[in-house]
Chain A
Amino acid sequence: MNFDDYRGIWIYIEVKDGQIAPVSLELLGAGRVLADKRKTELAGVFIGSGVKALAPTLFQYGADVVYVYDDPIFEHYRTEPYMRALLDCCHKHKPEVILYGATPSGKDLASAIATDLPTGLTADTTILDIEEDTGLLLASRPAFGGNIMATILCKKYRPQMATVRPKVMKALPPDPSRTGRVVEEHIELHEEEMRTKVLQIVRETAKKVRIDEADIVVAGGKGMGSKEGFQLIHQLAEVLGGAVGASRDVVEAGWIDHHHQVGQTGVTVTPKIYFAIGISGAIQHVVGMQNSDLIIAINKDPNAPIFQSCHYGIVGDAFEIVPLLIERLKEEIPKIKAAADVKEEIRHA
């Protein structure tokens, strides 16, 4: 294997509901840094049905090249056709690095590609770097339930591959003046030969809380005592117009559905304000919220580890502090709203 044949940083571009998945834009931001260090191109590999029109967006976020496989057979993610397309692209253009979002389909695809090529695959990366002269990718990840961090290398194989956690890397601000090259690719695939078929997609809108998109997340832990006690979390979230989050122990106790779980085995959130109330601050919880803009902890134990991971903390009983806070918010928020309305009127007048 001649390493010099392998050039360029690639990002597997994931499509979700007809849109480019946010994680793919984040990876373009991270990939841009790696490509600049290696003085090489940053490419997106875009597989889907009707996706060609979205390709220029990828240039705005940092890509120099976009390889497009646009075919109805790619309507829903399936391992087999997606794998065939990406393998085709790898064999033709030989990248040095491929990054995937550590999403269900990103991980599924990356594992299949790694086995087929074969090459190494680092899972759930949270820190990325590259050696300028050798091109060695330094991919670091939490393991053993977040107790340790490990840097994983792949010295003897190319391409080097990693899946990267969503919401860890930062997308670049879109630059409408940036352009690039679209390369249309094609591969012969026949539906009759596919061994899986997606029969139906069911969106569970009722359960769809999307706490990962909320500006304010109010999360409660085992310290709320009971399902009834946990209602206080719902009340605070409602006053603030935020979403409700929870620790794993709360989910396991059945006080709330798994979709609300924040942390390593739940959702990663980065809201503008995150409340951790009656949450001890276990590492597996903290990894899911530590990048929030403002973290507020309320816990009655002054030694709770959560106070190490917050910006502001109150040592106290949630059942005393939170009702007081709710009461004061109910007084103050309408005043802010009124002031904003006045401004709006002045502007319109």
Chain B
Amino acid sequence: MLHIVACIKQVPDTKIIKMNPKTNTMDRASAPAILNPYDAHAVEEAVRLKKKYGGIVSVLTMGPPPAVKAIKKCIELGADEGYMISDRAFAGADTLATSYALTKALEKIAKHRPIDLIICGKMTIDGDTGQVGPGIARRLNIPPLTGVNKVVEVNKEKGYAIVHRKLEDGYEVVKSQLPCLFTVEKDINDISFAPLPNMIKAARYQPTIWTADDLEDVDRKQLGLKGSPTIVSKVWAPPKPEGGKILTGTKEEQVNELLSIILEKKELFS
């Protein structure tokens, strides 16, 4: 029986988020909150491994109360249990403070059911640092395997996992001791359609919710804004580029002008 925990985050859909042109800030209300797309693949992979080897899939999120919706989405995808840590004390966390709080929650989960494998997304689409997964692995002192795009084998009896890690021009095959932590690429799997029973279960599901006080041995100085070495000091909209010269004339004239612009770079063609 494997116990796999997927870490998931609810994020604004940055593809359709609108900027307020007056204040240069994001209008968060303009974008619906969704399960971070990479994390959907993390949960999918956990569920596939559960089906293959037997076991239990838990999901964990840190976020404000509405993030329960993201957990329900994971139940639809086939997760068995959901945990959420939610407290004002966690607010304003950078990646260091985020990995600290999540690690404390993972330790608490592991007390009641030891964890064999943790799966995170490669990154989120809002903060998009990709730093939280490796941070959790370091804190738990387990090997991080980043950029995983295929799981070859997970062998609990012998205590190892074999995966493919994506490289810029191929992949490497890595063997790691268990427990370990994967961060997964999107091409690791295709998300399956949620079967009806999962949807029904998800609709009724209530996750376990913990506050900072519910976690054990917590050093409050390491939580939230206080525990964050990085500070976002200034936010601005990227400068709008000047804009290029639009060619005019007939189609033939435009193409001829373009041709001479291209062929000015003679060295590329000789």
In the bound complex, CA of A345 to CA of B5 (Å): 68
* Interface residue? A336 (CB, 8 A): yes
Q: Which one, B134, B137, B172, B228, contacts A200 given CB within 8 A?
A: B172
Give the segment of B75-83, B85-93, B255-263 that binds chain A: B255-263
- Encode B171-191 as 1/0 by CB contact (under 8 A) with A: 111111100100000010000
Which of the listed residues A146, A200, A272 has the most CB atoms from chain B within 10 Å of its own CB? A200
Nearest to B176 among chain A residues (CB) is A196
* Interface residue? B22 (CB, 8 A): no
- Smallest distance from the beta carbon of B183 to chain A beta carbons, Å? 9
Nearest to B263 among chain A residues (CB) is A332
Please determine whether B263 and A202 come into contact, CB atoms closer than 8 angstroms.
no
* Interface residue? A215 (CB, 8 A): yes
Give the segment of B60-68, B209-217, B242-250 that binds chain A: B242-250
Please determine whether B244 and A295 come into contact, CB atoms closer than 8 angstroms.
yes
Q: Which residues of A139-155 have CB atoms within 8 Å of chain B's CB atoms?
A: 140, 142-155
- Encode A112-145 as 1/0 by CB contact (under 8 A) with B: 1011101111111000000000000010101111
In the bound complex, CA of A111 to CA of B230 (Å): 13
Q: Which residues of B111-147 have CB atoms within 8 Å of chain A's CB atoms?
A: 125-131, 133-135, 137-139, 142-147
Please determine whether A313 and B247 come into contact, CB atoms closer than 8 angstroms.
yes
Please determine whether A315 and B172 come into contact, CB atoms closer than 8 angstroms.
no
A interface SS class? mixed
If A115-B134, A315-B246 touch, whether A273 touches B265 (CB-CB below 8 Å) is yes
In the bound complex, CA of A177 to CA of B216 (Å): 59
Please determine whether A196 and B235 come into contact, CB atoms closer than 8 angstroms.
no
Give the segment of B13-21, B39-47, B50-58, B196-204 that binds chain A: B13-21
Residues of chain B lying within 8 A (CB to CB) of residue A142: 238
* Interface residue? A173 (CB, 8 A): no
- Ordered by A's residue number, 12 sampled pairs between the chains whose C-beta atoms are within 8 Å are A76-B172, A115-B99, A121-B131, A123-B95, A147-B26, A148-B26, A199-B174, A204-B171, A205-B169, A310-B244, A316-B251, A337-B270
